[in-house]
Structure 1
């Protein structure tokens, strides 16, 4: 699965300029559903709970 995802990211990056390309990514173990801690009922991101729950993952990508 990860190899297929990496292939898709690589194909998308080929169409983007260098500053727009995805350099690092992580596959999260959870599925977010509307109305959960990470998504509102309308499907919008709840940034603060995401930042708290995935702080270590975010830090590994940007740190």
Structure 2
């Protein structure tokens, strides 16, 4: 990911993909179907990751 502040890198979300909402994101084709709502990554099933959370986890 690349952020507006210039930070960039990878984010490992594997430890976050549990529970009814997030488990479908394990399917790579579904994961790739995200949209940006504002700066939030969102999926059609209601899952989302806030930009602040993603920024904290970038390596």
Question: Is the TM value for this pair above 0.5?
Answer: no
Q: Which has the higher contact order (CA 8 A, sep 6+)?
A: 2
User: Which is greater in Rg?
Assistant: 1
Structure with more helix by fraction? 1
> Which one has the bigger strand percentage?
2
TM range (shorter): under 0.3
